[in-house]
Amino acid sequence: MGQPELHIDLARLLDRIETLGAIGAIVGVEPEHRGCARLALTEEDKLGRDLVVEWMHALGLEVSVDHLGNVVGTRAGLTDGPAVMCGSHIDTVASGGRFDGNLGVLAGLEVVATLNDAGITTQHPLAVAFFTNEEGARFAPDMMGSLVYVGGMPLEQALDTVGIDGSRLGDDLESIGYMGATPVPGAVPRAYVELHIEQGPVLEAEGVRIGVVEQVQGISWQELTISGESNHAGTTPMSHRHDAGYVAGHLMQYVRSLAADIGGHQVATCGAVTLTPNLINVVAANAVLTVDLRNTDEQILRDAEQRFAAECDRIAEAEGVTISSRVLARFEPVDFDPLVVDEVEAAADSLGLTHRRMPSGAGHDAQMLARVCPSGMVFVPSIHGISHNPAEDTDPDDLEAGANTLLRVMMTLASQQKDLQ
């Protein structure tokens, strides 16, 4: 493509990861496991934001903060117009790692630093963004900042969200000083690319360096409330029971067999169950059970939901209980733009890195940006597939490979004359 052979500076990237990771630092089960707790809009989040904004200014970026606290640092191009944006998030879960989200933002800064050092100005502007409350650990839903950025949720609704600790998002945003002046929805980028750790075991298991992400799984979350009848565990004949605990257990087993039967990318999980009264000698009166179904194909996901609902009806009738369900989250699968996907693949290829196409099992800001502009993602391996855990780690060589891939993709997308749409 006639591009100069630029490479990022791994030591500088690692230094930024360590420095940001020291804010809200926590130690895991093993002393060498150093994670982060920077829940959205807490004091730790503010300190992390301040540091990244300071770095953006030092790199010469023009920094804007919008009404929901999304931060965008822009580097001018030879021509005006929409920027080629990269980014991710810097909030973490309470038991988070140093890489989830942070890598995509800090690698974006490293791309800018590399271009600054080389004295290169791209044709189109570049931007590095971090979006508010991606994790959703304190305020639901997750990916909130990017959702509001693309106009998928009204600002007022986001600001009025009440967190798990009872505080209002808008009040916290104001108190940490990040209710900015830039309106939302935000400026539509020319394209969006997000580098992220895989958070799963596939790349490591296959010995592949770069994941070329083609799509994000659709997510279906529901909460079931099963109402039966509490009774004596010794005196109630089996035939007379309306056992909510038994029905919960049956459904937990059913989702596993459903996933196995559907096969392919289908996954199914019951991650939380609560029995009432939850006593050894009492048939449970009530059970609350969460169900998480995911697939990359919307039709198959709908079929899975329908089969699960039919099984709920069948078992409810057989056991004489009632089951009500409530949708907690529902996102359709997202396909990334073929042109961006191809560029990620070509970049990895030109760097001599092994790569494979794959879906993302987790939700990411990139799936929101995909609603408004050509978008894609680059994955790097997670050691043992561990994430949302202080033990989360990625080999420095893979961090370097991912950041170099991001650099190349951004340079290509920012140099092309042709219309990306």
Q: Is the dihedral of CA 66, 71, 72, 73 positive or negative?
A: positive
CB of 89 to Zn ion, least distance (A): 6
Contacts of 354 (CB under 8 A, 6+ apart): 207, 208, 209, 210, 348
Tell me the per-residue interface mask from 67 to 106 with Zn ion, x by CB under 5 A, - otherwise. ---------------------------------xx-----
Beta bridge partner(s), residue 375:
192
- Over its C-alpha atoms, the chain yields an Rg (Å, rounded) of 23
Question: Considering beta carbons, is residue 101 or 163 the nearer one to Zn ion?
Answer: 101
CB of 218 to Zn ion, least distance (A): 18
Question: Considering beta carbons, is residue 83 or 362 the nearer one to Zn ion?
Answer: 362
CB of 392 to Zn ion, least distance (A): 10
H or E segment to which residue 330 belongs: strand 322-331
Q: Is 345 in the site for Zn ion (CB under 5 A)?
A: no
Question: Considering beta carbons, is residue 198 or 297 the nearer one to Zn ion?
Answer: 198
CB of 73 to Zn ion, least distance (A): 19
Residue 378 CB neighbour total at 10 angstroms: 29
Find out whether 160 and 172 touch, Cβ atoms under 8 Å.
no
CB of 284 to Zn ion, least distance (A): 36
Question: Considering beta carbons, is residue 100 or 400 the nearer one to Zn ion?
Answer: 100
Give one DSSP letter per residue of 160-213, joined into a string. Answer: T-B-TTS-BHHHHHHHTT---SB-SS-PPPSEEEEEEE--SSHHHHHT-SEEEE
Find out whether 104 and 195 touch, Cβ atoms under 8 Å.
yes
Question: Considering beta carbons, is residue 68 or 262 the nearer one to Zn ion?
Answer: 68
Question: Considering beta carbons, is residue 101 or 125 the nearer one to Zn ion?
Answer: 101
Q: Which residues of 66-96 are buried (b: 16+ CB within 10 A; e: fewer)?
A: bbbbbbbbbbebeeeebbbbbbbbbbbbebb
Question: Considering beta carbons, is residue 131 or 308 the nearer one to Zn ion?
Answer: 131
Residue 381 CB-density burial (10 A; 0-12 exposed, 13-18 middle, 19+ buried):
buried
For residue 260, the SS3 value is helix
Residue 360 CB-density burial (10 A; 0-12 exposed, 13-18 middle, 19+ buried):
buried
CB of 198 to Zn ion, least distance (A): 11
Question: Considering beta carbons, is residue 100 or 393 the nearer one to Zn ion?
Answer: 100
Question: Considering beta carbons, is residue 198 or 243 the nearer one to Zn ion?
Answer: 198
CB of 70 to Zn ion, least distance (A): 15
Site for Zn ion (CB under 5 A): how many residues?
2
Question: Considering beta carbons, is residue 136 or 185 the nearer one to Zn ion?
Answer: 136
Nearest residue to Zn ion by CB is 101
CB of 49 to Zn ion, least distance (A): 16
CB of 243 to Zn ion, least distance (A): 40
For residue 328, the SS3 value is strand
The amino acid present at 360, given as its one-letter code, is S
Tell me the per-residue interface mask from 136 to 165 with Zn ion, x by CB under 5 A, - otherwise. ------------------------------
Find out whether 65 and 186 touch, Cβ atoms under 8 Å.
no
CB of 101 to Zn ion, least distance (A): 4
Which residues contact Zn ion by CB under 5 A? 100-101
